[in-house]
Amino acid sequence: MSKQNPKRYSLEKINKNISSSKENEKQRSAASFLSKHMKKVYPIGLYKTCSSLSLSSLSLSLSQNSNDSSLADSSSQLDQKIALALRLIESPKRREVPVAKTFQKPTTEAACTEPGEEGFRRCNWITKNSDNIYVQFHDECWGVPVYDDHQLFELLALSGMLMDFNWTEILKRKELFREVFAGFDANNVAKMGEKEIMDIVSNKALMLAECRVRCIVDNANCILKIVKEFGSFSSYMWNYVSYKPIINRYKHPRNVPLRSPKAEAISKDLLKRGFRFVGPVIVHSFMQAAGLTIDHLVDCFRYSECVNLAERPWRHV
């Protein structure tokens, strides 16, 4: 070996030591810089994560991959690499809170079937062309048992008007009739004088003939006599059916009679007591309206309702 060789070897060794010391200094600077920034990003420290990657190995990896000569120049790239390194670290998994599904209620509900449509049948004589007031009378009044004297007198008077009008025409003027006939209170109607009778006859809205008005006044006087004998007009009428409505089971309109043996018996006795315009047909119409007889067709929605009313355990006295 020449003399220059030991010198060259010693110089190379010195250079390696110098470069090694510089490299270690760079690593310590990078580690301190990284630690400073990591506290800002992840203050609790990397040691609390589940990753096997340590701060020293991370800083060493970053310094070895860096080609910059100074740390000042590499600060911006170091921030980017820190972010990249954080992705490699297993961060604590966030617990996902299950979100309950919300079900919105339907905005539209199934529409109720209107009376007269499919599934909600009326008696066949109620048609699409029937007036609303007549339909309402069928749905709410016709066949419902009535026990009040004033209401029974009213229905008897309105039934007598069927000789001149139909139910629709009568029902449209029902409130007017109640007004001029004092709510069909027999005591007040029986006291009507000539002037009051003529005032009613001259009322064009009522369209009542004089004989019809006088008939109602005369029948009011007859009712007062019945009240003295039986206690009430209701007791007299319901006594004919033993205080329980007659429940029929008619399937077709042709089966519903215009008169009945019971109506004929009542008509005969009323005429004997001085009543007017109370033939068997009028009396049977009165019995249907007042619920003394249930003549709704069996497939009509009102049939079962009226039967339930008719079969109530109490009786009128």
The helix or strand, by DSSP H or E, that contains position 237, with its residue range, turns out to be helix 233-239
Which pairs from 191-199 meet CB under 8 Å and 24+ separation?
Answer: 192/217
Distance of CA 44 to the CA centre of its chain: 58
Binding site, by residue number, is: 123, 138, 296, 300
| Contact present, 37 and 62 (Cβ < 8 Å) | no
Question: For residue 49, which phi and psi values (nearest 5 degrees)?
Answer: -90, 170
Q: Which residue has the tokens 């070895």?
A: 64
Could you tell me which residues come within 8 angstroms of residue 163 by beta carbon, excluding any fewer than 6 positions away?
A: 277, 282
d(CA 128, CA 116): 8
- The tokens for 151 are 């209401």
Binding site for Zn(2+), by residue number, is: 123, 138, 296, 300
